[in-house]
Every structure is written in C-alpha cells, then in structure tokens.
Amino acid sequence: MPYIVLSLIKLLIVVLILMHALAYLQWVERKVIAHVQLRVGPRRVGPHGLLQPLADVIKLVTKEGLIPSHVNTPFYFLAPFLAVLFALIPMCLIPYGGDINVFGIHTTMQVTDVSIGVLLVLGLSGLGVYGVALAGWASNNKYALMGGLRSSAQMISYELPMALAIAAPLLMLNTLSFRHMVDAQTGFYFGFIPKWSIFQGPFPQIFSFILFSIAGFAETNRVPFDLPEAENELVAGFHTEYSSMTFAAFFMAEYANMMTVSFVATLLFLGGWQPLWPVQYGSSLLAPLIFGATALICFSHAVRPARPFDRITLPVFGVIFLGLAGLFLIPAGQQILMPLFWFLGKAGIILFIFIWVRATLPRFRYDQLMSFAWTFMFPAALINLFITGFLVAVS
C-alpha cells in the first residue's frame, strides 16, 4: 500500500479517536472533580451523563460567535487557530504502540517516526504559547492582556526546567526518537523489575519524572499554575472575550496539551507500551481481567439497582465490557490492543493525577510561581542532570 494512503488512514484514525477522547476527557474531569467534592457531576444527558460532551459540542457550535467591537480582528481569529494547531500537531509524532500486522500490512502504530521526535514535540508545544499570548493581546482588554503576558512569562520560565528534566533520561536512553526510546526501556532486572527510565540504572529518573510533571502542569496552564486564567483576579484571563467555537478551540487546545504531556511522560519515563511485569507471568491477562471484573460489577449492581434506570443501563455497560474483555483474548486483537492498553493506561493515570491535583490544590500566587521555577525547579533539574551525566559517564 502506498505510504501516503497508509499515512492518511492512520491520521484519520488518530484524529477521530483524539477528538472523541478530548470531549470525553472533559466529561471524566467533571465526574472525577464532582466525586472528589462529594457531588454526582453531570448525569442528566444520557445514562450517567455520557452524552454530556455531545450536548456541549452542539451548544458551542450553534451558539452565536460574538465579536466584540474593540478587538483587533485578524489576530483575534488567528489566536485560537494557532493554539489548536500547535496542540494537535504533536499527536502525529507520538507512537501509541509497537509494530503490528493488519490484513497483511506491516506498519507501526504511529503516524510518522521522526528521529528527533522529542525535540520536535518540545518545540511545537512551546509554540502553543503564541495562541494564548496573541489572544490576550488582540482582545484589547486589560484582564486578557494580563493573562496573555502571564502565560508567556510562565512558559519561558518553565520551559527551562522541563528541557533539563527531559535531557536527563535522554542521556541514559541515548536516542531522540520516541520509538527507539521505548525499545531502550525493554526488558526486566532480575526478571521482574521493568527497565523503565524511572527504575533504570545507573540513576533512576524518578526526580526527573517529578520535575517534568510539575513543569508540565505549568506548561499546560493547569491548576495550581493556572494564573493566565485565574478567574478571581482576571475574569477569565486570556479568553475573556471569546465565545462559541473560538472559546471551544482554546478549551480543546488545553486538553490536547494535557494529553501530549502525559503521552511524552509515559514514553520518556514509564516505558511507553512495555508491560509492568513479564508476559510469561501473565501480564497480558490483566486487561481482560480488569474489563471482566468491571462487567461483573455492572451485572451485580444491575441485580440490585440503586436507581430505576440502572436496571437497563448497567447490563448494557456490562455486555460492552465483556465484549472488550473478549477482544483482548483473541490473539489478533491482543497483538494490537495490549500495547495500546499499557500505553493509554499509563497516560490515563497521569491524566487522572492532573484532574486530581485540580480538585485538591489551591492556586499559587504569581511571585510564588516565578520564585518556585527559578529558585527550586531550575537548580534541582540542573543537579539531577549533572548526577545523571556523571553516573552515565562512569558506568
């Protein structure tokens, strides 16, 4: 099959899944935060609020796009476009799994493998700040401008510790391509400790992982570093003047950036799609076990329903989960789905931590944010890099 057709098919799959994942990530976030705060979250639209993202999308699309009279129109429309563009391009560079054979075609579960993948993702996500900064400036609104300026200052400051935190595992893995990075983390110490970067000798990269995650929170403008849109100081920050689809674009960009950060963290530190324990001890049975258990829980709750509609919805979910468990047991399905399961599972845990932190921590003050970056993060990342470099050179 010609390269270009194959690439287009892969792009289509990635885009379709990504767009749904973005919408449903927001549903997950609302549900998780609601449960942390002892509420139920969205549950009116569809069973357990599952159609809420669809309703939100319809609302945002059909809403009138209001253009305030005082904005700088060309830049006002360029800003959300740039934000979405630089949030979505990195998704093409992420490998979601190893090599697969589908209908006799041998391919990789990645749109394209660039030999400088991690640098390119770093560069492209750094460009994402132009969307936010430009939105703040073009709005001709002092709150929006403050948000945009804060965002660019924050981005410049936290890019340094982030780059240094990425450099340390790169010294050990000795490659810049995501695919080779995961290959360098294959295998187990003593037959059961995985050789992921955070466990790998000579210097386990656990500090690097923590620094990268903190810088990732700041780069994606998430709580506790969401100063650019701090609503009790700046109305809504850089997107104060945006509504309908232009607002949705910033929303999408934020969630896409979150996903990129967690994917990169998974590939750099958590071994990509490598399993937690060897296959001969049954690591490939974990997925059907989890889905099967979920199906059983659904069925048992359907027998004693807490709410009247649970009698209908929970058996349906149970059957869906049983079907998923079955798919994982077929050899052809297992070959494609097991790497995906591990990869998305690890990335999903990081995404869950993103949401968990949002529900738990209050926001930093602006001077705290800056002094934290320059007096703690930067020296810590530098020391970590020195120790790693020294130990890699010695061993």
Partner 1 sequence: MDAVLFLVFAAIAVVCAINLVLQTHPIASALSLIGVMGSLAFVYLQLGGEFIAAAQLVVYAGAIMVLFVFVIMLLNEGKERKVKMKLWGRWAGAPLLACFLALMAFIVQRVLPPQESVRFGAFTGGDAQSIGTRLFTAYLLPFEVTSVLILIAIVGAIVLARKEID
Footprint on this chain of partner 1 (rule: CB under 8 A):
4, 75, 78, 114-116, 119-120, 122-124, 126-127, 129-130, 133-134, 136-137, 145, 148-149, 152-153, 155-156, 159, 163, 176
Q: At what angle do helices 3-36 and 52-62 cross, to 10 degrees?
A: 110
Task: For partner 1, give the closer residue by CB, 152 or 334.
Answer: 152
Q: Which residue has the tokens 């926001």?
A: 363
- Shortest separation between residue 123's beta carbon and partner 1, angstroms: 3
- Shortest separation between residue 21's beta carbon and partner 1, angstroms: 26
- Shortest separation between residue 73's beta carbon and partner 1, angstroms: 13
For residues 384 and 211, the answer to whether their CB atoms sit within 8 Å is yes
Tell me the CA end-to-end span of the chain in Å, nearest whole number: 45
Q: Which residue has the tokens 């750094």?
A: 126
Task: For partner 1, give the closer residue by CB, 75 or 199.
Answer: 75
Q: Which residue has the tokens 């476009």?
A: 81
- Shortest separation between residue 257's beta carbon and partner 1, angstroms: 14
Amino acid at 188: F
Q: How many CB atoms lie within 10 A of CB 99?
A: 12
Among 218, 214, 342, 258, which residue's Cα sits nearest to residue 88? 258
Dist CA 230 CA 236 (whole Å) = 6
Task: For partner 1, give the closer residue by CB, 143 or 354.
Answer: 143
Task: For partner 1, give the closer residue by CB, 132 or 256.
Answer: 132
Q: Which residue has the tokens 């690439």?
A: 7
- Shortest separation between residue 250's beta carbon and partner 1, angstroms: 18
Task: For partner 1, give the closer residue by CB, 162 or 347.
Answer: 162
- Shortest separation between residue 78's beta carbon and partner 1, angstroms: 8
Tell me which long-range contacts 290-293 makes (C-beta under 8 A, separation of at least 24). Answer: 291/321, 291/322, 291/324, 291/325, 291/328, 292/321, 292/322, 292/325
Q: What angle do CA 254, 237, 228 make, to 5 degrees?
A: 60
- Shortest separation between residue 6's beta carbon and partner 1, angstroms: 14
Burial class (CB in 10 A: 0-12, 13-18, 19+), 21: middle
Task: For partner 1, give the closer residue by CB, 152 or 283.
Answer: 152
- Shortest separation between residue 134's beta carbon and partner 1, angstroms: 8
Beta-carbon contacts of 376 under 8 Å, excluding residues fewer than 6 positions away, are none
- Shortest separation between residue 148's beta carbon and partner 1, angstroms: 7
Task: For partner 1, give the closer residue by CB, 152 or 335.
Answer: 152
Task: For partner 1, give the closer residue by CB, 49 or 136.
Answer: 136
Buried b (16+ CB within 10 A) or exposed e, 241-261: bbbeebbbbbbbbbbbbbbbb
Q: Is 107 helix (H, G, I), strand (E, B) or coil?
A: strand
Beta-bridge partner residues of 102: 105
Task: For partner 1, give the closer residue by CB, 127 or 340.
Answer: 127
Dist CA 182 CA 346 (whole Å) = 14
Task: For partner 1, give the closer residue by CB, 176 or 290.
Answer: 176
Dist CA 358 CA 381 (whole Å) = 24
Task: For partner 1, give the closer residue by CB, 156 or 296.
Answer: 156
- Shortest separation between residue 375's beta carbon and partner 1, angstroms: 16
Q: What angle do CA 14, 214, 378 make, to 5 degrees?
A: 125
- Shortest separation between residue 155's beta carbon and partner 1, angstroms: 7
